[in-house]
């Protein structure tokens, strides 16, 4: 009963923010980040467009299906990916309804790509589009994903994977700031960051099986800075720190552990902590470390492997091909332990978990759409 009362209050607050003049987008961002996110798909239909600054009054209709699919260079690949995406539809959905949604999914993707020839399709993009399609329907999904594709997802949609690599290169510096021991263990195992590739480029849509958890994360990511998904990825690794440290210290073992994402994660506390870490260690503070990570060519992060892994969407096959025995963890710790370290745990403890309550949330949410497309390219020379 207490939870229901809280939920009712939150719904009322969201509708107040929607009906104020002008619409209180800052408040909507805080609601999307705070506990439970936006609560219902009905509310998401109203709030997601506001978070992305999309005008819903005059949505253009989708062009004719035949026109979209003729001579379209991406059609065959999109078709293959969408056919393989059965598990992304609610269990128990009648076949004919699902097939119709799959056709709509193909149309939405092809339409966005046709209107934006500078964007390149990647495997995993359909996992993001299907989430929007299921929540808001095809016309609104097209407008929202188009805006998202030219902002938050822009770096994944280049002709090469260089920018995606840059973003993944933030993962280890974030982990290092919060838990140097986990960072050093992972470096020692030379696990790289490929295990988090599908998390990042699908906003976790590809790896989580419960749709409620996926849309809850989308509420959070839509309200935040475009790099928030990589902070959330770091938080998942940190949440599993004991499992990681108990693992055998070699690439295949640690990669296998991390790429199997648990489904019963404590999403609300992970979201809150990811927001806190972002406030404390914003991307601007981590740029140098991310650049250094790019320069280190560990076995799992060389460009060829990266490209291969993304094509196959099965990074473990790459790792099996490259697998070779590594010196054991004990032998390597000697050199690692001599590294001077400041005690970051003290600094982390000083900052309370405030994101869900709002103070730090404001720093997290300063309109991400003020970041121009190609945000990454401005950071890296």
User: CA-based angle 44:115:47, to the nearest 5?
Assistant: 10
pLDDT-flagged residues of the chain (< 70): 294-381
Q: Could you give the CA distance from residue 207 to residue 131 in angstroms, rounded to a whole number? A: 13
Tokens of 89: 């539809």
pLDDT on residue 245: 97
Q: Could you give the CA distance from residue 225 to residue 24 in angstroms, rounded to a whole number? A: 18
Sketch out the chain's domains with CATH numbers.
1-151 (1.10.8.1310), 161-287 (1.10.472.80)
pLDDT on residue 317: 39
pLDDT on residue 110: 96
pLDDT tens readout for residues 341-350:
444 443 343 3
φ, ψ for residue 352, nearest 5 deg: -65, 165
Are 29 and 365 contacting, i.e. CB atoms less than 8 angstroms apart?
Answer: yes
pTM for this prediction: 0.79
């Amino acid at each position: 009963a207490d939870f229901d009362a809280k939920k009712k209050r939150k719904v009322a607050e969201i509708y107040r923010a929607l009906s104020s003049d002008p619409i209180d987008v800052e408040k909507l961002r805080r609601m999307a980040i705070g506990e439970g996110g936006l609560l219902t798909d009905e509310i998401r239909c109203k709030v997601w467009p506001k978070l992305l600054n999309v005008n819903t009054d005059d949505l253009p209709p989708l062009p004719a299906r035949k026109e979209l699919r003729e001579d379209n260079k991406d059609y065959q690949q999109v078709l293959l990916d969408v056919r393989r995406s059965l598990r992304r539809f609610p269990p128990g959905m009648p076949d004919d309804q699902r097939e119709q949604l799959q056709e709509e999914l193909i149309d939405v993707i092809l339409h966005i790509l046709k209107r934006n020839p500078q964007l390149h399709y990647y495997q995993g993009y359909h996992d993001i589009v299907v989430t929007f399609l299921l929540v808001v329907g095809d016309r609104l999904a097209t407008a929202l994903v188009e805006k998202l594709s030219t902002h938050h997802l822009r770096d994944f949609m280049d002709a090469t994977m260089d920018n995606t690599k840059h973003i993944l290169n933030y993962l280890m510096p974030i982990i290092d700031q919060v838990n140097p021991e986990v960072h050093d263990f992972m470096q020692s195992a030379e696990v790289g960051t490929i295990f988090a590739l599908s998390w990042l480029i699908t906003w976790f849509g590809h790896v989580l099986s419960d749709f409620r958890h996926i849309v809850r994360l989308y509420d959070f990511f839509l309200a935040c800075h475009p790099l928030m998904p990589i902070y959330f990825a770091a938080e998942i690794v940190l949440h599993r720190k004991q499992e990681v440290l108990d693992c055998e210290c070699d690439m295949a073992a640690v990669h296998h552990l991390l790429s199997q994402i648990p489904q019963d994660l404590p999403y609300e506390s992970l979201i809150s902590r990811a927001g806190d870490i972002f406030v404390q260690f914003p991307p601007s503070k981590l740029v140098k470390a991310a650049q250094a990570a790019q320069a280190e060519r560990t076995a799992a992060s060389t460009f060829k492997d990266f490209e291969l892994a993304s094509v196959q969407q099965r990074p473990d096959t790459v790792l099996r091909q490259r697998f070779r025995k590594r010196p054991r963890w004990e032998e390597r710790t000697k050199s690692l332990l001599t590294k001077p370290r400041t005690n970051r745990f003290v600094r982390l403890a000083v900052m309370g978990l405030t994101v869900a309550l709002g103070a730090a949330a404001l720093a997290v949410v300063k309109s991400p759409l003020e970041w121009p497309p190609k945000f990454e390219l401005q950071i890296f020379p």
